[in-house]
């Protein structure tokens, strides 16, 4: 079964809670129409798809687990305003889009733009005769 490690920062202090199947059951019952796959979307390669991660739902689940473990006793609204939640061991996603297959990551199909003259130099260049 699923267990999700969550890191909580409450008033500057770190706490780790584990969302166990019971917490997931409570979350599914309160998050109408949601399933565990909606909470933690997994990409086809088995990694976490952070682009589809719902922080609203992560906070709801973290609140359920924190209350069960008696780390936090307030309401969900108080939890959302006062607690920082991160997935334990999760790193922020790399915002760089992946390279297309078959192309090196640094390839560029366009040439760098040439420097365009502007201001007085441009006006002078237009008025002077071109030499060949």
CB 58, CB 87: distance < 8 Å: yes
- Residue 132 falls within a domain, yes or no? no
- Residue 102 falls within a domain, yes or no? no
* 62-81 residue pLDDT tens: 999 999 999 999 999 999 99
The Cα 23–Cα 43 span in angstroms is 23
- Residue 126 falls within a domain, yes or no? no
- Note every long-range contact of 12-17, with CB atoms under 8 Å and residues 24 or more positions apart, other chains counting: 15/66, 15/71, 16/88, 17/62, 17/65, 17/66, 17/69, 17/71
- Residue 120 falls within a domain, yes or no? no
Into how many domains does the chain fold?
A: 1
- Residue 119 falls within a domain, yes or no? no
- Residue 106 falls within a domain, yes or no? no
Domain that holds residue 60: 4-87
Reported as a pLDDT band with limits 50, 70 and 90, residue 53 is confident
- Bridge partners, residue 18, by sequence: 5
Highest mean pLDDT among 9-18, 41-50, 103-112, 115-124: 9-18
- Count Cβ atoms below 10 Å from residue 65 Cβ, excluding itself: 26
Q: What is the mean pLDDT of residues 8-35?
A: 90
Q: Could you tell me the pTM of the whole model?
A: 0.62
């Amino acid at each position: 079964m699923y267990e999700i490690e969550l890191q909580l920062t409450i008033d500057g202090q770190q706490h780790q809670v584990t969302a166990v199947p019971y917490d997931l059951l409570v979350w599914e019952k309160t998050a109408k129409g949601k399933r565990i796959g909606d909470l933690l979307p997994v990409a086809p390669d088995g990694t976490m798809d952070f682009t589809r991660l719902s922080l609203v739902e992560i906070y709801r689940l973290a609140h359920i687990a924190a209350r069960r473990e008696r780390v936090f006793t307030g309401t969900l609204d108080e939890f959302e305003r006062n607690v920082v939640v991160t997935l334990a061991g999760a790193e922020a996603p790399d915002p760089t889009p992946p390279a297309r297959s078959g192309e090196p990551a640094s390839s560029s199909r366009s040439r760098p733009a040439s420097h365009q003259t502007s201001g007085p130099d441009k006006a002078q260049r237009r008025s002077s005769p071109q030499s060949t």
